Amino acid sequence: YPNPARNDVTMKNVSSDVTIQLLSASGQIVDIEKAEKSGDSITFSTQNLTNGLYWVKVTSASDVLVAKLIVQH
């Protein structure tokens, strides 16, 4: 949250050993974070990103989830 994002976006209560990638609309990796323990919160800054569509890709040992993120300053 929030979506659309202005300055940053936060994912709360992330499971342990999860990797989260922020991708541009063309699929280029913009940022990568890793949750070390269950319940972690991860925040990505969107201040230096241009307005538009991005993807958040969450990868665990058993699943991959992709969600749309809109950046709008």
- Give which of 11, 19, 7 is closest to 45, Cα–Cα: 7
Q: pLDDT value at position 51?
A: 96
pTM, 2 dp: 0.84
Token pair of 59 as six digits: 């990868």
Name every residue whose Cβ is closer than 8 Å to that of residue 62 and which is 6 or more positions away in sequence: none
Q: pLDDT value at position 61?
A: 87
Q: pLDDT value at position 53?
A: 97
- Give which of 59, 61, 73 is closest to 22, Cα–Cα: 59
Query: Over the chain (73 residues), what is each successive 10-residue block's mean pLDDT?
Result: 88 84 94 82 88 94 92 93
